[in-house]
Amino acid sequence: MRKLLTFALILSLGAGCVRESKTLTSTVNVPNVPVLALKDMNRIASVEIAAPEGFQYSLKAVEVDLAATAGLGDVRKVAVLSGDESIAEADLMTDAHEKTVKLALAVPIEGPVADLAIGLGTADKVDLDNKITLKGVKLLTSDGKVVPDCSGAPVLRTAIALRQRYQDGVDNCRIPGLAITPKGTILVIYDARRDRDRDLQGDIDICYNRSTDGGKTWSEMMVAMDMGEWGGLPQKYNGVSDPCILVDENTGDIYISACWMHGVIDEKTGKWIEGLTEDSTAWNHQWRKNGTHPGYDVKQSSQWMLVKSTDDGLTWSEPMNYTRQVKPEKYCLTINGPGAGITLEDGTLVFPAQGRREDASAFSTLIFSKDGGKTWQSGKPAFADPAVHSNESMCVQLADGSIMLNMRSSKNRGNHEENGRLVAVTRDLGQTWEVHPTSGHVLTEPTCQASILKHMYKKADGSEKELLFFFNPNDPDKRVHHSIRCSLDEGMTWPAVLEVDEGQGAGYSCMISVDNENIGVIYEGSGANLVYQQIRISDVIDLNKL
């Protein structure tokens, strides 16, 4: 597209009768991605113009026809984009449910165009139950009008770009956990990867945001766990990562657990590297060769750390090291799985967990406390066979008191023939396990962390129905098609599925029950590092059939 000459803004249709172009055609593609508050601009549609090579014409205006279930007050700006550049914008201040916006411009063009897009900007605070539809697009050109078909456009959900790249001077935020306290406060936790976008080792703190109004607005980023310059090493050699949050539903106490690495173990020699400084470039990771070893010392093995809050997440204790309680000395690693833990009906506190045996093979299990967080223990691997490589996991307690552990499996990446999350059940806090009938062949994944949640839905007659929800990138190859599923039979079948973000993201997630009618999810989406979205249960399943 050639240089923009002029543009003006007109907020009414006023098109009159314009003949159809006999030469030009156009297509509009609307991906199923959320419209994010706190993001400058959301690309909701790509526009292509088909024209003969060498054919000269000009684009005089673009008309955008919008509708929203809760009104268009959330939409504050409509734009036409060329590549990453906004070439025409209109402010939209209205509470109407439908609106046609005409953006007038003068752009000389030659031949086909493939880099146009429609963008939306929102208010900082949006209705998380709102849904926006692109009803139509009309291109007014010097050759006549072109009206691409938008009839199949998906309904776009509103959500919040809670963490974006470089926000607050942080390179990247990843690995979310989500919890709601007895007071109704919602907490999102995550890795704040301050200097670069990669896993441990690095300058990584566990940070969080709080919401006291049901997820509508959020606090600034705060720090929950930071090992500082422990042991005389710079912060980039004292990283903490992969957090998990657990709320004691009986006391209101909140725990955040994470993996701490002190220094670096050389992947070639297996020895801890002495004399590291801020200028050192040595790097290794607890899941890579020689990243962590048997033993308890900080120079041998990555550590399992906890912080605790007794004031609804306003302040946190100093980090506490429970590695010796949960990791067999011969194992290379025992830490939590990222996401969220649960409180059992008898008050036992349970974190999903993962680790590496003495032969470095990966496993999943549980870490639990039966004394209100004073001491912690771990279960045995959910799969005894070291050839079964599971790791990141989350769990729910079923109606009979047993615990279902849903696990990431390394065999699934790119596997179209037999793909499915690993699932096992324990009745004795992980001392023994039974393989679930769905294990390895039902819940599709590209090998990625995922989240599971039990929600007790209260029906109109006062009775309750147990619902299980599962969220992950629903694809065997890539972290795309982020979707929520629902099971009515404790995970035996998952007939209901709702895609909320088809785009590429890092894919990790965590869920909460916001209230009886809504599920909250934080996930690594296509439009931001961390996206908070609220999903009405009736959008996933037919409540009349419960």
Q: Would you place residue 268 in the very low, low, confident or very high pLDDT band (cuts 50, 70, 90)?
A: very high
Model confidence pLDDT, tens digit, residues 35-85: 999 999 999 999 999 999 999 999 999 999 999 999 999 999 999 999 989
Inform me whether the pLDDT recorded for 546 exceeds 80: yes
- Of 158, 173, 205, the last residue of a domain is 158
Please state the pTM of the whole predicted model: 0.96
- Is the dihedral angle over the CA atoms 366, 370, 376, 379 positive or is it negative? negative
pLDDT of residue 14: 34
- What whole-number distance in Å separates Cα of residue 109 and Cα of residue 519? 47
Helices and strands of the chain, counted as H and E runs: 2, 37
CB atoms within 10 A of CB 252: 16
Instruction: Indicate whether 209 and 289 sit together in one domain.
Output: yes
15, pLDDT greater than 80: no
Mean pLDDT score, 273-283 = 97
Across residues 528-543, what is the average pLDDT? Answer: 97
Tell me the CATH number at 238. 2.120.10.10
Q: Looking at the structure, do residues 188 and 144 belong to the same domain, yes or no?
A: no
Residue 46 lies inside a defined structural domain of this protein: yes
pLDDT tier for residue 17 given thresholds of 50, 70 and 90: low
- Do residues 44 and 21 share a domain? yes
* Same domain (yes/no): 280, 220: yes
Going by C-beta distance under 8 Å and a sequence separation of 6 or more, which residues neighbour residue 297?
A: none
174 and 143 housed in the same domain? no
- Note if 417 is an active site residue: no
Domain, as residue range, for 265: 164-321
pLDDT score recorded for residue 240: 98
pLDDT beyond 90 at 208: yes
Place of tokens 């710079």: 234
Per-residue confidence (pLDDT) for residue 13, from 0 to 100: 33
Last residue of a domain, one of 125, 141, 158: 158
Return the pLDDT at 376: 98
Taking the C-alpha atoms of residue 166 and residue 171, their distance in angstroms, rounded to an integer, is 5
Q: Quote the pLDDT of residue 1.
A: 37
Angle at 18 between CA 15 and CA 20, to 5 degrees: 130
CA distance 267 to 272: 9
Percent of the chain with pLDDT over 70: 97
pLDDT score for 94: 81
CB atoms within 10 A of CB 123: 15
Q: Say whether both 96 and 128 belong to one domain.
A: yes
Same domain, residue pair 57 and 176: no
440 assigned to some structural domain: no
Both structure tokens of 352: 């999903």
Give the residue-averaged pLDDT of 163-174.
98
Mark which of 283, 303, 321 sits at the end of a domain. Answer: 321
Beta strand spans in 413-462 (E): 422-426, 434-435, 451-458
Mean pLDDT of 323-338: 98
Tokens (6 digits) for 94: 């209205």
Locus of tokens 């990584």: 204
Domain assignment of residue 331, yes or no: no
User: Is 128 domain-assigned?
Assistant: yes
User: Is position 422 within any domain?
Assistant: no
User: Same domain, yes or no, for 152 and 171?
Assistant: no
Asked if 123 and 222 sit in the same domain, the reply is: no
**Tokens 């609220």 sit at which residue?**
534
| Average pLDDT value for residue range 354-358 | 98
- Asked if residue 201 has a cis previous peptide bond (ω within 30° of 0), the answer is yes
Set 63, 89, 392, 502: catalytic member: 392
Q: What is the dihedral of CA 530, 535, 541, 543, to 10 degrees?
A: 150
- HEC string of 5-23? CEEEEECCCCCCCCCECCC
337 in a domain, yes or no?
A: no
397-425 pLDDT, tens digit each: 999 999 999 999 999 999 999 999 999 99
361 located within any domain: no
Do 304 and 225 share a domain, yes or no?
Answer: yes
Confidence of residue 8 (pLDDT cuts 50, 70, 90): very low
Residue 530: alpha-carbon gap to chain centroid: 5
CA distance 138 to 522: 35
Residue 167 has pLDDT above 80, yes or no: yes
pLDDT score recorded for residue 333: 98
Q: What is the mean pLDDT of the chain?
A: 95
- Give the integer Cα–Cα distance in Å for 434 and 177: 27
pLDDT of residue 6: 33
**Residue 283 DSSP SS3:** coil
Give every strand in the sheet of 75-82, ordered side by side. 25-29, 42-50, 113-122, 75-82, 85-91
The DSSP H or E segment spanning 537 is helix 537-540
CATH of residue 11: 2.60.40
With residue 212 as reference, give the H or E element that holds it. none
Same domain flag for 50 and 102: yes
- Number of domains the chain is built from: 2
Looking at the fold, whether 98 and 12 belong to one and the same domain comes out as yes
